[in-house]
Amino acid sequence: MPSPAEKPSLPTSCANNEHQPLVFDSSILRYESNIPSQFIWPDHEKPCLEVPELEIPTIDMGILLSGDPLAVSKAAELVNEACKKYGFFLVVNHGVDLGLIEKAHQYMELFFSMGLSEKQKAQRKVGESFGYASSFVGWFSSKLPWKETMSFPFSPGCQNVVEQYFVSLMGEDFRHFGRLYQEYCEDMNKLALRVVELIAISLGLNHAYFRDFFEDNDSIFLLNNYPPCQKPETVYGLGPHSDPNSLTILHQDQVGGLQVLSDEKWHAVTPVPGAFVVNIGDTFMALSNGIYKSCLHRAVVNSQTVRRSLAFFLSPRMDKTVTPQAGLVNPKNPRMYPDFTWKTLHEFSQKIYRIDMNTLDAFCKWLQEQESNKNTP
């Protein structure tokens, strides 16, 4: 890796030239003080790097296995309060091997330290859901995220799907990457099903209600790499948004950069070693009939240190109807959202709408327009 003293020059493809294609090469842009305009946010939307820290609700997942009904009830109350107010909480004592988490971070570092041409063997194409993305160059023309990602599918019903995905894109040399992330996703899936069990209890439902709903899921796993930026106050690692999926389980390194909106103010989520951040997504907000709020969050970067995170996006099976349990709909809390499938929302967020803080409302409006067009002679 080049030192700042021997920083590479910015190629013409990264310069502010409307006639040249933009390329996000983190090994170069991390040293560049002339930030390409496509990454710079308007003054009134620019990030605030110094925000107050949020006191985060922390749930001990070992309580579910304890068999102590009082302890489970108290944990469920904490989850209920956290999901109504913030849309997120931390989980500890989760049973995921810390050595596996560490190895997943090490492999992520190895992947993103490769040259751009190597990573582009897994290039994600516009409109596709999986693969390598260097920012979202080619997808959008402004407010681009200061990050690169690698995403791949996971479904408990598809044997070795992650391993096969890596081999198909990157070749046999990456089989060990696939095996490692296959194991990690399997552990994330087990943890996610335990978390939704607790969420069901917190909503007054049978503990198995959401576990059964998500048992045959079509989920997504994402590796995030946020390189340093010489003008971090002008860009976002990822702009303000809510996740369109159901539940996100995030493990971030110790650098920090995640911010959450609470009481109309942004707050920092300081990394806690060994803990996972769990946040409610738009699909779960619909499943709860709006009782639980999808977490509004963003990622900021810094000028010195790369930040990385691992995100497991629990999602229903593609063709499963997303509809709230009957007990969550009543005169005081009437039906909030129409029925839909995860496939429809997922495609909307990939091909039609750039996710932000209003994705679910925009999606519901779009669904109504589609229905209206069907009924128009």
Residue 285 burial (C-beta neighbours within 10 Å; 0-12, 13-18, 19+): buried
The answer to whether the beta carbons of residues 213 and 320 sit under 8 Å apart is yes
Between CA 80 and CA 311 the distance in angstroms is 23
d(CA 17, CA 14) in angstroms, rounded, equals 8
Question: What residues form DSSP beta bridges with 310?
Answer: 223, 251
Cβ atoms of 188 and 312 closer than 8 Å: yes
Separation CA 86–CA 263 (nearest Å): 9
From the candidates 298, 307, 308, 317, give the one annotated as an active-site residue.
307
Residue 174 CA: distances (Å) to CA of 102, 155, 162, 168: 18, 20, 11, 9
**How far apart, in Å, are the Cα atoms of 284 and each of 32, 221, 305, 320?**
40, 18, 34, 13
Instruction: Determine how β-strand 258-262 pairs with β-strand 247-252.
Output: unpaired
Are 287 and 246 within 8 A, CB to CB?
Answer: yes
Residue 166 tokens read as 């890596």
The length of the chain is: 377
Tell me the backbone φ, ψ of residue 113, rounded to 5 degrees: -85, -5
What's the first-to-final CA gap in the chain, in angstroms? Answer: 62
Catalytic residue status for 307: yes
Using alpha carbons only, what angle is made at residue 277 by residues 182 and 247, rounded to the nearest 5 degrees?
A: 65
Query: Strand, helix or coil at 168?
Result: helix
Number of H helices and E strands in the chain, helices first, is: 11, 14
> Annotated active-site positions, please?
307
